[in-house]
Amino acid sequence: MFFRRLSMTVVGMCLLAAPATAWASSAPSFIDVSELNNGIVKVQHHHSAQPVNEKVKITKDNQNFYYSVKDNNRFPLQLGDGKYTITLLQHVANNKYRSIESKEVNLTASSPQAVFLQPIQMIYWNDKTNATAKARELTKGLKTDKEKVQAIYNYVIQNVQYDYAKANQVTSEYIPSVDATLTAGQGICYDYASLFAAMLRSQGIPAKLVMGRKNDIPQYHAWNEIYLKETNEWITVDTTYDSIMVKGTKKPAMIKNKSEYVIEKQY
């Protein structure tokens, strides 16, 4: 019913030792930490002349996150303050990757919610995206964050349909486009969660994209957690689930019971 697991981990990856030149201080850096105070690192392609398979590995406290280097290469440091290691990897052959550059950083974020306000690769938006304009239109004149969340939520569940065909075809390399989802009016749960998060973040409301399990859904799933400053709490919202219920003439409650969900990854 929902999407096949899109794992951010690389199973069985073999890392080769980097040549000494990769660590030379005079070598150009492909890892940009200029937005570190917002919990963001940016990465450039090591080779721009030809397409290559590159990944970013971000590690904190023995937790690893892997991302493909494609477009909008902005990646979150979402595990709180502390030491992170960011490594740029280049594919060599089969499951072998070599390290191009590695950098250790100590994060002291401007606020615990800062990282969940930023555009990142899987939740990419800016002032010119259509999703941002629609969110601005929907929230005009509204006072509280909860009112704004409700308005955007209502729009998403009523105007985006679940794409069952796409769910059967999507690959592990898939990255959502919020404007493509908005324009098409359909998507998988990853698309719903990305679009909803982008629209909220663009209006200054912290939002997480969460992946894991729901108690009554056998497939891997994606949903959101939203921070409400008025009550100082994170609420669980599942636009995919509710859009299907609404189209079946049911009226779901926006805020879900957290105990019905098991979080595996959050961004």
| Short-list 235, 210, 230, CA closest to 220 | 210
| Short-list 43, 227, 32, CA closest to 117 | 227
CATH architecture of 130-266: Roll (3.10)
Average pLDDT of the residues of the chain: 90
Fold category of 14-110 in CATH:
Immunoglobulin-like (2.60.40)
Q: How many of the other CB atoms lie within 10 Å of CB of 38?
A: 18
pTM assigned to the model: 0.90
Domain segments of the chain as ranges: 14-110, 130-266
- Of the chain, the end-to-end C-alpha distance in Å amounts to 23
Q: What is the pLDDT of residues 1-13, one digit of tens each?
A: 455 554 444 445 5
Which token pair is 57?
């590995």
Sole residue written with tokens 């399990």: 213
Q: What is the pLDDT of residues 84-129, one digit of tens each?
A: 999 999 988 888 899 999 999 999 999 999 999 999 999 999 999 9
Amino acid (one-letter) located at 113: Q
